[in-house]
Amino acid sequence: MRSELYIDGRWVSPIKGGTFDVINPATEDVIHKLPAATAEDVDAAVAAARRAFDKDGWPKLSGAQRATYLRAIAGGIRARQQEIARLEVIDNGKPLPEAEWDIADAAGCFDYYAGLADQRDNDPGEAIELSDARFTSRAVKEPIGVAGAIIPWNYPLLMAAWKVAPALAAGCTVVLKPAELTSLTALELAAIADGAKLPPGVLNVVTGSGSVAGQAIVDHKGVAKLAFTGSGPVGSKIMAAAARDIKRVSLELGGKSPFVVFDDADIDEAVEWIMFGIFWNQGQVCSATSRVLVQDGIYGELLRRVVEETQKITIGNGVEDGILLGPLVSKRQYEQVLGAIEAARSAGATVACGGRRPDGFERGYFLEPTVLTDVPLDSDAWREEIFGPVLCIRPFSDENEAIELANESRFGLAAAVMSKDDVRAERVAVAFRAGIVWINCSQPTFTEAPWGGYKESGIGRELGYWGLENYLETKQITKFVSEEPWGWYLKPSEAAQ
pLDDT tens track for 319-329: 999 999 999 99
Q: Which residues are catalytic?
A: 252
Q: What is the pLDDT of residue 486?
A: 87
Q: What is the pLDDT of residue 270?
A: 98
Cα distances from 276 to residues 96, 273, 281, 449, in angstroms, run 16, 5, 9, 20
pLDDT tens track for 43-54: 999 999 999 999
Average pLDDT of the segment spanning 427-445? 98
pLDDT tens track for 150-202: 999 999 999 999 999 999 999 999 999 999 999 999 999 999 999 999 999 99
pLDDT above 90 (res 335): yes
Lowest mean pLDDT among 271-275, 445-449, 480-484: 480-484
pLDDT above 90 (res 124): no
Q: How many residues make up the chain in this entry? A: 497
pLDDT tens track for 282-297: 999 999 999 999 999 9
Q: What is the pLDDT of residue 493?
A: 59
Q: What is the pLDDT of residue 494?
A: 58
pLDDT tens track for 150-161: 999 999 999 999
pTM: 0.96
Q: Determine the Cα–Cα distance for residues 93 and 239; give it in Å rounded to an integer.
A: 30
pLDDT tens track for 65-107: 999 999 999 999 999 999 999 999 999 999 999 999 999 999 9
Q: Determine the Cα–Cα distance for residues 203 and 244; give it in Å rounded to an integer.
A: 25
What b/e readout covers 303-328, taking b as 16+ CB neighbours within 10 angstroms? bebbbebbeebebbbbbeeebbbbbb
pLDDT above 60 (res 495): no
Are 370 and 355 in contact by the 8 Å Cβ rule? The answer is: yes
Q: What is the pLDDT of residue 245?
A: 95
pLDDT tens track for 353-400: 999 999 999 999 999 999 999 999 999 999 999 999 999 999 999 999
177's CB contacts (< 8 A; 6+ apart) are 37, 148, 149, 150, 151, 205, 206, 207, 208, 210, 213, 214, 217
Q: Determine the Cα–Cα distance for residues 349 and 371; give it in Å rounded to an integer.
A: 10
The confidence band for 487, taking pLDDT boundaries of 50, 70 and 90, is confident
Domain ranges of the chain: 5-253+457-478, 258-439
Are 432 and 406 in contact by the 8 Å Cβ rule? The answer is: yes
Q: What is the pLDDT of residue 491?
A: 65
Q: What is the pLDDT of residue 250?
A: 98
Mean of per-residue pLDDT scores for the chain: 97
Three-class DSSP labels, the chain: CCCCEEECCEEECCCCCCEEEEECCCCCCEEEEEECCCHHHHHHHHHHHHHHHHCCCHHHCCHHHHHHHHHHHHHHHHHCHHHHHHHHHHHHCCCHHHHHHHHHHHHHHHHHHHHHHHHHCCCCCEEECCCCCCEEEEEEEEECCEEEEECCCCCHHHHHHHHHHHHHHHCCEEEEECCCCCCHHHHHHHHHHHHCCCCCCCEEECCCCHHHHHHHHHHCCCCCEEEEECCHHHHHHHHHHHHHHCCEEEEECCCCCEEEECCCCCHHHHHHHHHHHHHHHHHCCCCCCCEEEEEHHHHHHHHHHHHHHHCCCCECCCCCCCCCECCCCCHHHHHHHHHHHHHHHHHCCEEEECCCCCCCCCCCCCCCCEEEECCCCCCHHHHCCCCCCEEEEEEECCHHHHHHHHHCCCEECEEEEECCCHHHHHHHHHHCCCCEEEECCCCCCCCCCCECCEECCEECCECHHHHHHCCEEEEEEEEECCCCCCCCCCCHHHHHC
Are 88 and 157 in contact by the 8 Å Cβ rule? The answer is: yes
pLDDT tens track for 215-249: 999 999 999 999 999 999 999 999 999 999 999 99
Which of 287, 289, 305 lies closest to 392 in space, CA to CA? Answer: 289
Q: Determine the Cα–Cα distance for residues 327 and 388; give it in Å rounded to an integer.
A: 10
Average pLDDT of the segment spanning 16-30? 96
The confidence band for 34, taking pLDDT boundaries of 50, 70 and 90, is very high
Angle subtended at Cα 355 by Cα 445 and Cα 341, rounded to the nearest 5 degrees = 85
Q: What is the pLDDT of residue 17?
A: 85
Q: What is the pLDDT of residue 496?
A: 54
pLDDT above 80 (res 410): yes
pLDDT above 70 (res 278): yes
- Domain 258-439 has what CATH class? alpha beta
Q: Determine the Cα–Cα distance for residues 334 and 89; give it in Å rounded to an integer.
A: 17
- CATH architecture type of domain 5-253+457-478: 3-Layer(aba) Sandwich (3.40)
Q: What is the pLDDT of residue 489?
A: 80
Q: What is the pLDDT of residue 204?
A: 99
